Amino acid sequence: MNPEILKIIREEGLLLEKEIFDILDNFPDVNLARDFLLNIEKISGQKIITKSLLNKNFEYVKAIISKFPGENKELVEKVFVKLGFMIEIKKESLIIDKKEEEKKILNAPNYQIFYSTVKNDKKIKVEDFVGNFRSRYHQLQRILMQRQELQNLVAINKIGNERKSYSIIGIVKEKRKSKNNNFIIKMEDLTGEIAVLVKVDKFGVFEKADELLLDEVIGIRASGDREMLFVHDIIFPDAFIYEKVKFNEDIAIGFLSDIHAGGMKHLQKSFENFLEWINSEDEYAKKIKYLFIAGDNVDGVGVFPGQEHLLKLKSLKEQYRLLAFYLKKIPKQITIFMCPGQHDAVRLAEPQPVIGRKYGEALYDIENLVLVSNPAMIKILEGNKEFKIMMYHGDSIHSFIHGIKELRETKAHKTPARAVKHMLKRRHLFPIHGEAVYIPDINKDNLVISEIPDLFCTGEVHKVDVENYNNILIITGSCWQGMTSHEEKVGNIPDPCKVPIFNLKTRELKILDFGVEEELKELHIR
């Protein structure tokens, strides 16, 4: 590596992936390399330069390459292609009529699926959980290091006895109130732990401390010494979308969840009313190209004590056959993505794998059904545009409502999208170790929200709710089931038979009601 480029990297405090060093090594001029790095930092606002970051700013990258002289341009292009970047090299023989190409793009059912790592082929040991926490720390540390508020970052073991200003990144190990009503928080990183204090009169910061959850990763700005740090600000990893994606094609996405096929309180007439509509000539129905179904697709067997008395279909295979009967009625031009929930025939521990053939054999005959993990990221593509949808059934919503005072006191089960905002704020689906049932992975915490979605959809709470958080659209799903004693116990008050429809061209969101009044009155819902 050119020592002058290394000097620039050190002086500017940049962190680079190895592949970026390979690219810079092929730059024809040190000054070009410097301008390239500084401009990437400027337009992205990030100090960590990765392949992913270059992909997001690739129009700028292509513009830089186009300025290189002949041989150097070809050399750098080859390095980019080798590393997986698609460079547009125009040749007369490859030029395709633009309108024809656009037609092909618009007519293609274009999507990518990013499944969670769900493999569990060995006995889980304590060190697996330790490794998972280390991975969580590293993943969220990289996100927090991009926050401009965190200057002078140090490891906890580097804090000395001299009073100074510091920024640290750590996991919340313990939180308690002192006799003076101040918060004392014990934070831990890979080098040690330290106590930090948030004073009750520290307006704004005290409110942030109040909502902190155990085991989440945060940054703090503080002053003090090894004995105690006094907090000036708390910084969450947080999620932001700066530009809303709009497609050229006038297509829409529908969102369902919690069908609970096979239960006595399953709303069969209402669901069939929806199926009739989606096959109709209604203008909204004709625009739907994708359908997301966010878990609890069947009512399950043995999910809670005494459930057998509430089942119309007593076996999982029967329940999935009923579900398949429904889904086969959905037009074939609509791609259906379906993840499991706690009532489905998969393990409870998250990430949950796709529904298997053992019980869900009937689902595998549906050609337009795509089974995905819980959680999963699905990217809908149109040319160079991508619309990212995170699908998560939402088991942790109850944990967030219980753990955050403001949500608990305002009865957020009625407005569950507010709980999902806190997942995005923390960039984690289920941070509290003691409440989450999950499979640890020493290489990667699969519940970290590593890539920010354009839209986040969940189920679980049986109530449609919509929020917009930093330009990220949140939709919590309705249900197709009346109130059961189990749902009442967990705090779910059903608002059934609602289907949100989101238009990818106009970004218009409509919520349609398919409830059949006669059926709803029978179950005392309306």
The answer on pLDDT for 78 being more than 80 is: no
Give the three-state DSSP class for 233: strand
The CATH number of the domain holding residue 160 is: 2.40.50.140
Domain assignment present for residue 136? The answer is no
Does residue 346 share a domain with residue 258? yes
User: What's the one-letter identity of residue 62?
Assistant: K
Does residue 468 share a domain with residue 355? yes
Does residue 335 share a domain with residue 289? yes
Q: How far apart are CA 329 and CA 27, in angstroms?
A: 57
Does residue 274 share a domain with residue 355? yes
Q: What is the pLDDT of residue 66?
A: 65
Q: What is the pLDDT of residue 34?
A: 77
Domain assignment present for residue 419? The answer is yes
Mean pLDDT of 107-123: 77
* Residue 265 DSSP code: T
What confidence tier does 315 reach under pLDDT thresholds 50, 70, 90? very high
Classify 298 in phi/psi space as left (phi over 0), alpha (psi -120 to 50) or beta. beta
Range of the domain at 211: 148-235
Does residue 278 share a domain with residue 357? yes
Does residue 162 share a domain with residue 18? no
Q: Which position has the higher pLDDT, 26 or 150?
A: 150
Helix %, strand %, coil % of the chain (to 5) = 35, 25, 40
Domain assignment present for residue 245? The answer is no
Give the whole-number percent of the chain exceeding pLDDT 70.
86
| Domain-terminating residue out of 95, 121, 137 | 95
| Domain-terminating residue out of 79, 95, 111 | 95
Q: What is the pLDDT of residue 44?
A: 59
Does residue 493 share a domain with residue 463? yes
Does residue 367 share a domain with residue 468? yes
Report the predicted TM-score, pTM, of the whole model to 2 decimal places: 0.78
Q: In 3D, which of 409, 444, 450, 407 has the Cα closest to residue 426? A: 450
Residue pLDDT, tens place only, 88-110: 433 333 333 444 444 444 444 48
Does residue 332 share a domain with residue 298? yes
Does residue 212 share a domain with residue 181? yes
Give the helix ranges, DSSP H, for 328-368: 357-360
The per-residue pLDDT of the chain, averaged, comes to 86
Does residue 366 share a domain with residue 336? yes
- In the block, which residue shows the tokens 């390095």? 79
Mean pLDDT of 52-67: 66
Q: In 3D, which of 61, 72, 57, 67 has the Cα closest to residue 25? A: 72
What confidence tier does 10 reach under pLDDT thresholds 50, 70, 90? confident
C-beta of residue 58 within 8 angstroms of C-beta of residue 23: no
Q: What is the pLDDT of residue 239?
A: 95
Domain assignment present for residue 140? The answer is no
Does residue 451 share a domain with residue 380? yes
Domain assignment present for residue 287? The answer is yes
Q: How far is CA 202 from the centre of its chain?
A: 32
> What length does the chain have?
526
| Domain-terminating residue out of 176, 205, 235 | 235
Distance of CA 137 to CAs 142, 169, 403, 436, Å?
A: 9, 9, 21, 17
Residue pLDDT, tens place only, 342-351: 999 999 999 9
Q: What is the pLDDT of residue 213?
A: 96
The CATH number of the domain holding residue 382 is: 3.60.21.50
Neighbouring-strand partners of residue 513: 498
Domain assignment present for residue 472? The answer is yes
Domain assignment present for residue 108? The answer is no
Number of domains in the chain: 3
Domain assignment present for residue 109? The answer is no
